[in-house]
Structure 1
Amino acid sequence: MRDVPIVLDKDLKRIAYLENAFNVKVTEQINGDYAFSMNLPRNDPKWQYIQYGNYVEIKGQYFMINYFDEERDEENKLIGTIEGKHIYFELLGEYWEEDREEFNFIPATTPQVVLNMLISGTRFTIERVDEFSVSDIRLERGDIHHNILKVIEVWCGELKRDNFNISLLHNIGQDNGIQFRYKKNIKTIKKITDGRDVVTRLYVYGKDGLTFESITGQKYIDSQYIGNYSRPKIGEVKFDDIDDPQKLLDEAQKYLAKVEVPKVSYDVNVVELSKLTGYEYEKFNLGDIITIIDEELGIDVKAEILEYTYYPFEPQRSSVVLGNFIPKLTDYFVSFQKTQNIVETAFNSETKKLSTKWLEGIIDTHNNELQAGLGTVVANDQGLLILDNKDNPTKAIALVGGMLAIANQKDANGNWIWRTFGTGDGFTADVINTGQLNTSLVRVISEENNLYIDSTGLYVTDENNNIRVRLGQYIQGKYGLEIKDATGQRTILDQDGILQTWQDSIVDNLDSSHPMQLKFYLPPETLSVRKCRLNISLESFRAYEKGAAAFGGWGVTSGPSSKSTSGAYSDILNPSWVDATSYNNDPSIGGTTGNGTITNTSGSHDHSYTFHGHNHLVKINGASVYTEYGQVNATITVTSDGDHTHTIPAHMHLIPDHTHNIEHTHQISIGSHSHDILYGIYTATKPTNVSVKLDGTVIVSDINTDQTDIDIPVNSNGWHTIEISSTTLGRINASLFIQAFMSV
């Protein structure tokens, strides 16, 4: 199993290992809180499993996911925080329904019996209960957890929680001789002494106001330390289920022993040496008794670990709180009950107004102090001066000329420094110490009247009386800070997020085949888009140069080509003497010969004549031979007898219509050269019939003029594309304005 936090589903099945979790912290108190917290990058794919109803397993213990938030830190990183309670606190949601006295008051019982009764029907088990004395207990209708606290209060045990197993022990820890020593394993140490709740005189009451006055002659008992203080420190406790005076006295003495001395605790940051090889014996747990030693502070005491905060994967960050008392959640309820009693006494439950009897009680107290001689009054012609002490006064009240002045210190010359004044116009003071101030009865305003507080919250207004800032419940179900714009109408910040704006622009050429695109992104934190407007200007196509450089080389052209002649060609030439034998192989020479005679003196010989497709009338040795056009490559041979003469009469060659086909190439050499680039701004046509698409869907079309406010109906996060096209070559200047409400 990987040693990292693990997310479990509602059925406690493992669904994700959180390898990237950090600051993993677990805090457990004796009979108190048991909780975890950690951070996880918001972009971690495992974040999807951080949901209400799921659980986190840390070192084998199950914790509920009760709370998580997301924020951007100072380094612009998105960080998630997850917090939750131990699965034991599911008992806050389990209900004890009984409100009948015969079920809720259980006499002479043990914690084993009561705990088994309480967890019956839940998925929890009572694993172990130490042996405790028999005692009475009164349960109350409500959640199971708070009734378990009543069990702890009656029998004074310590609760051990191990997932669904619950134990009640005298002590959940041990004394294994472990020491926390400065310069050994203590990094920091802080000693805390708290005497605010010390009681040295305890008034005690039982059922129906029962006291033990019949035994002691008094309704109270005094502490052995009452002489340590100038006056008794008075407290009160009630045991509504005790109806025996002696038993009431016994319980009173037990209670007094817990509250008659100051509470001392030690807040210690320690290094857990047990995580190191060879130091396993240094391991400690909640409830263990530890010896704390710091020679320089003079500390050498034994104390119990009351609270243990540990980082399972960073043991160097652990800390513990040790003390001589065990803080219980019941202490907080007792404190709350005392406050509630004071409030109920001070205010009339029907009129909701301050009870004058309660005020009279305070007045009586001050009257008693005056009658006891606590203070002195000096009177003269100017007025009255009331001092808290005649010999060494530290407080003074002056009544002079219709004014009340109050001071509690003097300057270097011994003159009173008056800080609070009261006149018929009201009170002025630099400090007012008060308890609860009910703003439903008052309205607190600033001098400039632009800030006030009433029962609904704190407000800041502008010179036009528009509410610009509001802190409180600004609308039904919405709490926190709300900030408005200058009109006082538009929200720019509230519990849901903050209003942000940004703009993207693009300028480019386009035509029917090459649209321009503007891409924009809405992050996951976008809650809503208030405005998404597109502005476009239709401009002429633009280029910035013309002409280009070139270099030398070879160029080749190729045929075929043809030339046609039309009509027959004929011509009569002057005759010439030609030896017929010289034409034996090429009688197709254009032109004619005739009226010539060739005398051959070579004796008898042959004459051959080959015809190539044209008409000749030829006489050979006096014989007339006529060749026709169709006789191609025909040969006539005549043998002569001795010397003779050839006579070629005038004749004509006819050339029919024909075509010459010419196959050829031309090779051209071009030397190295260059063309200068002409720089400038060269424009052409403007866009026409412009259309705008969002993610492939047409928003508007047939635009032929500039547009300043095209609404882009985007309603989802992520990447989006605006495509602008034109039927003609042109240029578009586009700007996109976005105003969105973002989570914070």
Structure 2
Amino acid sequence: MSVKVLDRQFKQVAFLENAFGIGYEKRINELWSAHFSLPLNDQKNEYCQPFNYAEIIDDRTGEYIGLFRIEPSLVTKDESQQKVEYHMFHVAITLLDGVLFDYHQTDNRTTRYNIEYILSHQIVPHFVLGDCAFTRYFSYKFEDENGLLGPLFSIPEPFDEDYIWEYDTTVYPWKLHLRKPSNEVECEIRYGNNMVGIEREYDPETIVNRIYAKGYGEGVNALRIDSVNNGIPYVEDAASIQKYGLRPYIWTDKRFEKAESLKANAQALLKKWKDPIPMYRIAAADISSLTNEDIHRLKNGRIVRVVDDELGTFEQRIVSEKKSDMVAKPGDIQLQVGNLTEDIATLHSDLTRRQQINETYSQGATNLSNHDFEDNADANHPAVLRFYLPDEMVRINKLYLTFETDYFRAYSKSAKAGGGVVKSTSSGGGQTTSSGGGQTTSSGGGTSTTSGQANGYAVTLIPYLTDEAIPSGSSHVHGVVVDAADLDHWHTVNISPHTHTVANHTHTVSAHTHDINLEPHTHPLEYGIYKHNELPTQVSIKVDGQTVPYTSLSAENLDLIPYLAKDSQGNVVRGPHRIEISPNDLARISAQVMVQFFIQSRGGTRA
């Protein structure tokens, strides 16, 4: 058995030939541990500093046990022994050095992407991803994680089949593999051959005798079995309940979209879970170095066939492999053997009990919400969008405004009208007063000439009347024949330059009304869309009353989260919000608000 010590730059600084009490424990999908001791007076203790590394190799078999990081040591000194005991963890513990500060979320990404995303946050990139046997699309969220190991190990937890993390620290950067373990029997423990002792423990915590089944859908919208199970949302085993008491469990599998199939699989799982699942602790002899038979290699993650005269024969997976002293007792090995998950494709009901499908595991789902609006606006009448952020929003990832400014648009048409009387009434008389006289002056005199005939007759009778008596009798008339041409004549009038003066005066109008009668009539209809011929030069944007420093006439994906109303913790307030866009002239605003958020499905009804 050999132990080599490496410094933090992975340079070998010591070979511990005096090491004793060398041991290790490997638990499936957990952090491995190891230990060794040195004499108290061994000078090489000085190289075993915390955070240096120790590489352990089994010299008998040539098996590479692993690379571990040295943790603080324990000094033991008494009459019987004087030693320094060193405890170590596998170098996967270096993943505890990094952090995921603040909020991190990935949506519908492959398993490889999610693992590499977490590994990218290492302070020193010790690990890279090697094999990844799974391609699943899940959403994950992490917030303020101290250490990367927990988030990393949580990536495959929603999987509905067995998986195993494996490491290759013989190369650098070290390789991390996520693989599917074999479901075939690979090794054997038989009483009288390599079995030293066996213990069987039934854990009552594993009993499930009532299963509430949920399938495709989210929250209150998830598929249930009520409709095919007499209105009851669960299946149960009465005998198990009678024997162990009620042990309910909510089982979710989003693959199922039909209630009949969901119920059938729930019944199959109930049959498997209604009785305790045994855990076996087996003390065995590692005889693989003697037989060189692979069937005698008892390694973590393998399916082992256990043959015992009293307990019978069963096949289960090794979940823990431990050797406490590889120097003094190289053949002693302690194993824990747990329940074997059957093949999904064969049984159609093989989900492990710890299965957590994405929506259950991550406690929500990512959604997109779009709000569109169009409206005419000007400087005094903004285009307004009101939208609501519900309390179920766990996180608002994005809230973007996209808009453009177009010409103001009007819709016009004439309307039919009937006859009627239009009356205007003054409230009293009215008076107009000039402030002084007025004067009009001509620029000079003028001449006017007229001509004519004697009534247009060829002969004109001119009467002669007198008040004096005529000697021979009464008044009388003499007729004279005159040629009409002799009566043609002209008059000429000369007008000298002059002025007309108007004295100060007022005009008074008494109170009165005007009645206008309109006969019944119609106006012809004229449809059309009319646009203003000018655009504004800038806009003003307000979000929850806060002005956004942006004035251009269009924008694409303008981030509004900094301007939304916040609570005392600096988080966006859940509830109603308001966006106003005001152009400095008549315009038409076309806008869209896109919200990406992580939401929980709580509350509501199944209407």
**Shorter-chain-normalised TM-score: which range?**
0.3 to 0.5
The structure number with the bigger radius of gyration is 1
Task: State the TM-score, normalizing by the size of structure 1.
Answer: 0.39
Whose RCO is larger (CA < 8 A, sep 6+)? 2
Task: State the TM-score, normalizing by the size of structure 2.
Answer: 0.47
